[in-house]
Amino acid sequence: MDDVKAAIRRIPDFPKPGVLFYDITTVLQDPKHFKKIVDELVRRYGPMNISKILSMESRGFIFAAPLAASIGAGLVPLRKPGKLPYKKVAQSFDLEYGTDSLEIHEDAVEKGERVLLLDDLLATGGTAEASVRLARKLGAEVVEAGFVIELTFLGGRDKLSDVPVYSMIQFDS
Residue 23 is predicted with a pLDDT of 96
Give the tens place of pLDDT for each residue, 119-142: 999 998 999 999 999 999 999 999
- CA–CA distance, 46 with 105 (Å, rounded to integer): 25
Active-site residue, selected from the candidate residues 59, 79, 150, 157: 59
Cβ within 8 Å of residue 13, ≥6 positions away: 19, 20
Domain membership flag for residue 19: no
Residue 96 is predicted with a pLDDT of 62
Domain membership flag for residue 9: no
Q: Could you confirm whether 136 is annotated as catalytic?
A: no
Q: Which of 110, 165, 119 is CA-nearest to residue 140? A: 110
Domain membership flag for residue 37: yes
- CA–CA distance, 119 with 140 (Å, rounded to integer): 18
Residue 6 has pLDDT above 90, yes or no: yes
- CA–CA distance, 161 with 73 (Å, rounded to integer): 25
What percent of the chain is predicted at pLDDT more than 90? 92
Q: Which of 144, 132, 138, 133 is CA-nearest to residue 168? A: 144
Quote the distance between the C-alpha of residue 136 and its chain's center.
16
Q: Could you confirm whether 59 is annotated as catalytic?
A: yes
What's the chain's average pLDDT? 96
Give the tens place of pLDDT for each residue, 10-23: 999 998 898 899 99
Total domains in the fold of the chain? 1
Give the tens place of pLDDT for each residue, 44-89: 999 999 999 999 999 999 999 999 999 999 999 999 999 999 999 9
Domain membership flag for residue 145: yes
Domain membership flag for residue 1: no
Strand blocks (E) in 6-64? 9-12, 20-23, 52-56
70 CB neighbour count, 10 Å cutoff = 15
- CA–CA distance, 72 with 144 (Å, rounded to integer): 17
Residue 173 is predicted with a pLDDT of 86
User: Strand pairing of 74-78 and 88-95?
Assistant: unpaired
The letter for the amino acid at 4 is V
Whole-model pTM?
A: 0.94
Q: How confident is the model at residue 28 (pLDDT cuts 50, 70, 90)?
A: very high
> 79, 103 in Cβ contact below 8 A?
yes
- Say which CATH number the domain at 83 has: 3.40.50.2020
> 133, 91 in Cβ contact below 8 A?
yes
Measured in degrees and rounded to the nearest 5, phi and psi for residue 7 equal: -80, -10
Active-site residue, selected from the candidate residues 96, 114, 133, 136: 96
Q: How confident is the model at residue 97 (pLDDT cuts 50, 70, 90)?
A: low
Domain membership flag for residue 24: no
- CA–CA distance, 63 with 115 (Å, rounded to integer): 15
Domain containing residue 107: 30-167
Domain membership flag for residue 150: yes
